[in-house]
Chains A and B, each alone.
Chain A
Amino acid sequence: MTSLTDRQLIDELQRRIDQRSQAYEELEQLNRTLRQVNRKLIEAERLKTNFLSNARNEIINPLTAILSLSESLSANENLPAEEIRRRAALIYQEAVHLDFQWHNIFASAEIEAGDVAIEFYDFDIMQAVKDITAKFKKIAADRNVRFVYDGFSPDKLIIRSDPQKLQLILENLIMNAVQYTYHGTEVNIALTHKEEMVSIAVTDHGSGIDSADHERIFDRFSRINPAVATPGQGHGLGLPLTKYYLELLGGEIKLHSQRDHGSTFIIRIPDRTHTTDSSGSATHGEDFLFDQSELF
């Protein structure tokens, strides 16, 4: 046995004390995190309850409008052609709302059930954006909102990604912008394509979002200031869904916004045209030989 000097003993004790206090600090940190998570979960449960009544309105309101409008069309024999067109347009507008809400709800349910698969195709991203704004044209016109495009010339850009997921991402961003921008302003959609990354920025000229709320808007069922713009619109699934889909596609979302200065949501998605991605494809494994130690 070797004898230790006093100095060595003191050093060793000091080292152990340091270790202990470090461990203690880490424990404190974990405890704080746990308390935070606890608060979040309580909040999540409360929001879930709100969600049910929100979702109910989202579905029942447009459906009621569609029912009564179509009923009035078929019951009135002597409606002028102009009036028929007007009511048909209203039915279409309500149906667009309903379709959009349903897609959000079903997509979120799919994600939460683990049933999501990614399918990459080549498609025209500019056309995809134009199709969405065409669909929301009436809703925008009602609020006297114009779409302003930037970076859309030449008017075709073929990229490879998952078009269905991207469509829902863009529908959410553009629909939000249309609803939150002030009456009579514009919604700007800017597109850039650089080094196999597509970036789309959607800007509204509404009341903006406090920086304190920038994280929270991506939480499930949460809606910041629901009284703004159109009361009763939205159920708080859109942005969490958008963020999740972007992660899935290898992209990201950023928010630039200040109170009273409008909001810009910027998404970046990789264009996989030149990617030979093997991780996603199912491999049969015939190429592998396994020995006993690799079998479980």
Chain B
Amino acid sequence: MNNLQAKYIYSSALFVAQQPIILNTILGSCVAVCLWDRAKNTGGMNHYMLPLWNGVGLASPKYGNIANDLLVKKMLNNGSKTENLIAKFFGGARILDDTARVFDIGQHNVELAFDIYADYGIEIAKGSTGGTRGRKIFFNTQTGEVMQKYL
């Protein structure tokens, strides 16, 4: 996969690339958003565990509402324009075999992403969400391409 450097995005972390790089992560019910700027050929990724911060503990990008706002803001600060951005969503699997649960964290993580990026007016391209299997993804911030393996 060419000579680009790779960086692993831990859960609750996020990263916006200044130089072309392969951002990779492993997802279960967590969601990672790959945000790509097609005009500047740059991108960033987050990796959040829960949909909404409930006021407990630190207001970190462990929570989708914070992680997504922060990712968009960082891309915009980096000189991107919303109309050039394309978002792809990955993860949000239902890992526990517990279909009766009212609150499917993975699904809520994904729904939140769709809501937030629609609000920003950012184009949403095909990603891979839901299901019951974990994923490993590689995001090439130069080409905007995301490669995915099921675990």
CB atoms of A40 and B55 under 8 A apart: yes
Q: Which residues of A contact B54 (CB under 8 A)?
A: 36-37, 40-41
Residue A67 at the B interface, CB < 8 A?
A: no
Is there contact, CB below 8 Å, between B46 and A285? no
B13 in contact with A220 (CB, 8 Å):
no
Q: Which chain B positions have C-beta within 8 A of A243?
A: 57
A295 vs B126: C-alpha distance when bound (angstroms): 10
Tell me how many residues of A have a C-beta within 8 Å of chain B: 40
List, in ascending order, chain B residues with CB within 8 A of A285's CB. Answer: 1, 6, 22, 24, 138, 147
Q: Write out the residue numbers on chain A whose beta carbons fall within 8 Å of the beta carbon of B6.
A: 282-285
Contacts of B58 in A (CB 8 A): 108, 111-112, 220, 240-241, 244
Is B94 in contact with chain A by the CB < 8 A criterion?
no
Contact partner of B7 (CB less than 8 A), chosen from A108, A248, A282, is A282
Number of interface residues of B (CB under 8 A): 38
* Residue in B closest to A40 when the chains form the complex, CB atoms: B55
Q: Contact: B55 with A280, CB < 8 Å?
A: no
Q: Which residues of A contact B15 (CB under 8 A)?
A: 114
Judge whether B145 and A114 touch: CB under 8 Å.
no
A65 to B146, CA, bound (A): 55
Contact bitstring B43-76, A, C-beta under 8 A = 1, else 0: 0001000001011111111000011001000000
Whether A26 sits at the interface, judged by CB under 8 Å, is yes
- For the complex formed, measure the closest distance between the CB of B1 and the CB atoms of chain A, giving whole angstroms: 5
Q: How far is the CA of A215 from the CA of B54 in the complex (A)?
A: 14
- Among the 9-residue stretches A52-60, A129-137, A187-195, A286-294, the one with 4 or more Cβ atoms under 8 Å from chain B is A286-294
- What is the distance, in angstroms, from B25's C-beta to the closest C-beta of chain A? 9
User: Is there an interface contact between B147 and A114, defined as CB atoms closer than 8 Å?
Assistant: no
- B22-A284 in contact (CB<8A): yes
Near B by CB (< 8 A), chain A positions 248-296 give: 248, 279-286, 288, 290, 294-296
A286 engages B1 (CB within 8 Å):
yes
The answer on a CB contact under 8 Å between B147 and A288 is yes
Which residue from A29, A41, A116, A284 sits with its C-beta under 8 Å from B13? A116
Q: B1: which A residues are within 8 A, CB to CB? A: 284-286, 288
Q: How does the 8 Å CB contact mask read for A207-247 relative to B, with 1 for contact and 0 for none?
A: 00000000100111000000000000000000011011000
CB distance B148 to A296 under 8 Å?
Answer: yes
- Check B26–A279 contact: CB distance below 8 A: yes
> Chain A's nearest CB lies how many Å from the CB of B65?
11
Does residue B120 face the partner (Cβ distance < 8 Å to A)? no
Give the nearest-CB partner of B16 in chain A: A114
**In angstroms, how far is the closest chain B Cβ from the Cβ of A287?**
10
Q: A116-B10, A282-B24, A296-B90 are in contact. List 14 more A-B contacts (CB 8 A).
A: A37-B54, A111-B12, A116-B13, A117-B10, A219-B56, A220-B56, A220-B59, A241-B58, A248-B10, A283-B24, A285-B24, A294-B148, A296-B88, A296-B146
3 A-B pairs with the lowest CB-CB distances in the bound complex, closest first: A40-B55, A114-B61, A114-B14
